[in-house]
Amino acid sequence: MDEKMTRILCIASAKGGVGKTTFVANLASALARAGKSVIAVDANLTTSNLGMHLGIPMYPTTLQDVLKGRARVKDALYYHPAGFRVLPADISLKKLMLPRSSELMDVFYKISGNADFILIDTAAGLGKEAQSAIEAADEVITVTNPELPAMTDALKVIRIADKYETKHLGVIVNRVRHERGEPGLDEIESFLDAPVLGHVHEDNNVRASIRQKNPVVLHRPNSAASRQFRQIAAKLMGEEASAADVSILQRLFGWLG
């Protein structure tokens, strides 16, 4: 049987707290709902909290155990009730470590072919931890807020993606309020010279869902933020479909030629 083409997507930001983990939890849930096979990886090993967003803060076997050679990767994969798998990180300080990109790549390689999407949550900043994840992934999405400090930091992520030749897919603008003076999506696109893949409004339902430890697309599926997370998921799947169409055409022309 043919192995699946897996997209290994890193979600990054240089500024902390912009909404990376919220995005990973909701994108994983939305893609799974749409029938995709997804693995969410918590590669934020220093300030890990994907497990908390997903309602499972403590896992017995984690990415750190795999990286230290103490466990097999299949023993650190867990099924979430929302229909995707999670490769969690340990939240205890005792297991603090900074992996090399080659070590992460090795783990991603072992789980790829097994999923349509591997979504990697990363640490904020441009330290070794974040850079390893960006280098190890095939594609990067940058999360930012519509504020100059976050946008300036987003530029740095885009440069780092270029440095490692990881394809920068575009930007998610989170916590949009449409306040006076707030930069618009077109201004953000031209400031960053990168496409905005989607935006998510400031929405109290997001905070309420995090308190409930349940992604907002599941907790409040009709909220503005949930609709916007689903739109972004659809866009990512659409790109996947169009990439597949191109390869079918190329094959057809190759065959005719």
**Binding stretches for Mg ion (CB under 5 A):** 20-21
Q: In terms of DSSP H, where are the helices of 83-223?
A: 101-111, 128-136, 148-163, 185-192, 204-211, 216-219
Name the token pair of 3: 């192995």
Site string for ligand ATP, 175-194 (x = CB under 6 A): x-------------------
Identity of the residue, 66 or 130, whose beta carbon is nearer to ligand ATP in the bound complex: 130
171 binds ligand ATP (CB under 6 A): no
Backbone angles phi and psi of 72, in degrees to 5: -85, 150
Least CB distance to ligand ATP at residue 23 (A): 7
Identity of the residue, 26 or 166, whose beta carbon is nearer to ligand ATP in the bound complex: 26
174 binds ligand ATP (CB under 6 A): yes
d(CA 192, CA 242): 25
DSSP 7-20: EEEEEE-SSTTSSH
**Per-residue buried b or exposed e for 22-36, using 16+ beta carbons within 10 Å of the residue's own CB:** bbbbbbbbbbbbeeb
DSSP classification of residue 116: S
| Residue 19 contacts which entry, ligand ATP, Mg ion, none (Cβ below 5-8 A, type-dependent) | ligand ATP
d(CA 159, CA 128): 15
Contact residue for ligand ATP among 203, 215, 229, 233 (CB under 6 A): 203
Sites for ligand ATP among residues 89-148 (CB under 6 A): 124
Binding site for ligand ATP (CB under 6 A): 13, 16-22, 44, 47, 124, 174-175, 200, 202-203, 206-207, 210, 225
